[in-house]
């Protein structure tokens, strides 16, 4: 499929199930497993969210030693698919090595690929990202790349073999929502058949609902739930927001107007001059 073909631009994405690399996922909410007050609260939040996939940082858990092993056992006991990630990697080579280790540890070809360019914004290094994606796809990985809304990089990633794209909404952990909705809408129209997951920057359930109303296939979030006053209740709130946003998109949102349009038509309605009534 060529995403440049005119008849595909503006094509409404499928309204069927959320499927990535041939696997149907029961929920459009993906949840991170870091920053929670305790492992048990994390597990409770995952269950409350109904998330279909959780992400796990291999580098972070390795640093925990034996505590990390217990944490991974808890993750494996959850009724969800595990998506290991290469969080913290700064070069393509580092990300490739981490991915290979994750495949051995989790016995999965799935990898959320992160190659970070800047410590202040945690923006993806698009050059390193494409390099690593090409190498990992050739090595049999199913790559979930954390990227920006840059269409050129997205084309390169799809060309490298990525069958899903994960553009950021805003920098990781900022909670600012969709910083560039115009570019994200353009990306959605440009890749109508590629699953698109908003990854990073989501801070409130309303942000997630907005992304789903725009036609994105899913949202991945972590900090907004983990750092909430009540992570379990917040996980439930996000699950409901994503479900509502998706239902609104599938149902067909009304078009915005520049001028008012009465909900009750006035044509044919009788008018009476009450001032002249006796």
Residue 34, Cβ neighbours under 10 Å: how many? 14
The answer to whether the beta carbons of residues 168 and 216 sit under 8 Å apart is: no
Separation of alpha carbons 228 and 247, rounded Å: 26
* Distance (Å, whole) CA 106 – CA 97: 14
Is 12 annotated as catalytic? no
DSSP 3: T
Catalytic residue among 112, 138, 227, 240: 112
Residues 6+ apart with CB under 8 A from 140: 109
Query: 13: Cβ–Cβ under 8 A, 6 or more apart, which residues?
Result: 188, 192, 193, 215, 217
Query: What gap in Å lies between CA 213 and CA 90, rounded to an integer?
Result: 33
Active-site residue set = 112
């Amino acid at each position: 499929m060529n995403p440049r073909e005119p008849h595909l631009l503006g094509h409404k994405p499928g309204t069927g199930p959320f499927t990535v690399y041939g696997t149907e996922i029961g929920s459009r909410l993906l949840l991170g497993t870091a920053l929670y007050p305790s492992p048990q609260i994390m597990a409770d939040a995952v269950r409350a969210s109904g998330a279909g996939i959780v992400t796990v940082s291999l580098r972070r858990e390795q640093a925990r030693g034996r505590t990390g092993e217990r944490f991974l056992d808890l993750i494996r006991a959850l009724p969800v698919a595990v998506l290991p990630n290469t969080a913290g990697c700064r070069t393509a080579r580092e990300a490739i090595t981490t991915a290979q280790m994750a495949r051995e540890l989790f016995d999965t070809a799935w990898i959320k690929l992160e190659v970070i360019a800047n410590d202040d914004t945690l923006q993806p290094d698009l050059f390193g990202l494409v390099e690593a994606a090409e190498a990992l796809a050739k090595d049999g990985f199913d790559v979930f790349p954390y990227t920006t809304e840059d269409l050129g990089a997205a084309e390169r990633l799809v060309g490298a073999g990525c069958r899903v794209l994960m553009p950021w909404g805003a920098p990781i952990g900022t909670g600012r929502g969709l910083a560039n909705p115009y570019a994200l809408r353009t990306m959605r129209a440009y890749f109508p058949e590629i699953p698109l997951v908003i990854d990073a920057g989501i801070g409130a359930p309303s942000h997630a609902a907005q992304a789903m109303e725009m036609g994105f296939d899913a949202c991945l979030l972590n900090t907004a739930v983990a750092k909430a006053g009540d992570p379990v209740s917040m996980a439930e709130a996000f699950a409901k927001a994503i479900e509502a946003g998706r239902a609104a998109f599938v149902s067909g949102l009304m078009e915005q107007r520049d001028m008012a349009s009465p909900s009750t038509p006035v044509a044919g309605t009788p008018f009476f001059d009450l001032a002249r009534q006796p």
